[in-house]
Amino acid sequence: MNQKDTFVHLFAGGMILQKEGPRSLFRGLGPNLVGVAPSRAIYFAAYSNCKEMLNNIFEPESTKVHMTSAGVAGFTAITATNPIWLIKTRLQLDARNRGEKRMSAFECVRRVYQTDGIKGFYRGMSASYAGISETVIHFVIYESIKRRLLEYKSASAMDEEDETVKEASDFVGMMMAAATSKTCATSIAYPHEVVRTRLREEGTKYRSFFQTLSLLVREEGYNALYRGLTTHLIRQIPNTAIMMSTYEVVVYLLNG
């Protein structure tokens, strides 16, 4: 993402603020808050259970185990929560002038159902499935860095008892591992985010993942596939770092 693209995004944010007011910057927050908890719960439950099962079949903690577990977890969470994220996207794209009544989440649900029926709530899901590649890349890199950090600690430990005790620095290291892995994964697989948003627009000309992908490249060029990447990274990197370190703390505490 070059400086010109970054300026365009900042300028667009300023235009939204000027035309629609400060509240416009929080459109879609409700569905986002509602969707985060079940989405993360489903994802980590599926990932942990699948990894535990596959560790008894394949080489424990191998790349194959991490890739398969991440793929299964991503597929499960996407299928279960896609309607929530569609509503969030529609609310974010609902442009109104200052003082005009905003579309509520319930009104958005009604409009989606009236227009497309039940299947309308699953628009963009093909792009989300394509985004499973991001999840797989993220967890493979994360687990690899995490394993190396643990190996380094074990090698430097004076006795075996100290190896099982985690310190604050261990979780800081996991935060850095999560931030690094998420940056790599997002940068590689980001185009699916752009395609998914286009598919979820109301009254859109986009119909499927590959049709949208080819249409974007043909009409707007390859740069369009990475539009908004900088903003997305600014949001995702700290979010993922905190989420993964929190997950590791909870697992550590539950295991005693």
Q: pLDDT > 70: what percent of the chain?
A: 79
Q: Which residues of 78-117 are buried (b: 16+ CB within 10 A; e: fewer)?
A: beebbbbbbbbbbbbebeeeeeeeebebeebbeebeeeee
> What's the per-residue H, E or C state across 151-178?
HHHHHHCCCHHHHCCCCHHHHHHHHHHH
Q: Mean pLDDT, the chain, as a whole number?
A: 82
The single residue listed with the structure tokens 């003082």 is 99
pLDDT in the model for residue 31: 60
pLDDT in the model for residue 8: 45
- Using the Cα atoms of residue 41, residue 46, residue 192 and residue 1 in order, give the sign of their dihedral: positive
pLDDT in the model for residue 23: 58
Structure tokens at 239: 């979010």
Top pLDDT among 120 and 100 is at: 120
Structure tokens at 96: 């109104």
* Cα separation values, 99 from 26, 102, 109, Å: 15, 9, 22
Close Cβ partners of 181 (under 8 Å, ≥ 6 residues apart): 137, 138, 139, 140, 141, 142, 145
Mean pLDDT score, 14-22: 57
**What span, in angstroms and rounded, lies between the C-alpha atoms of 202 and 1?**
27
pLDDT in the model for residue 14: 55
* Longest alpha-carbon distance in the chain: 67
**What span, in angstroms and rounded, lies between the C-alpha atoms of 66 and 18?**
46
* CA triple 63-64-70, angle to 5 deg: 85
Instruction: Judge whether 155 and 107 are in contact, CB under 8 Å.
Output: no
pLDDT in the model for residue 29: 61
Instruction: Judge whether 105 and 26 are in contact, CB under 8 Å.
Output: no
The single residue listed with the structure tokens 């996207």 is 89
Mean pLDDT score, 178-207: 90
pLDDT of residue 53 exceeding 90: yes
Q: Which helix (H) or strand (E) holds 35?
A: helix 29-55
Mean pLDDT score, 86-106: 73
pLDDT in the model for residue 223: 92
pLDDT of residue 11 exceeding 50: no
Name the DSSP letter for residue 137: H
Residues 62-73 have pLDDT tens digits of 889 999 999 999
**What span, in angstroms and rounded, lies between the C-alpha atoms of 29 and 127?**
22
Instruction: Judge whether 154 and 176 are in contact, CB under 8 Å.
Output: no
Nearest to 105 by CA among 95, 90, 122: 90
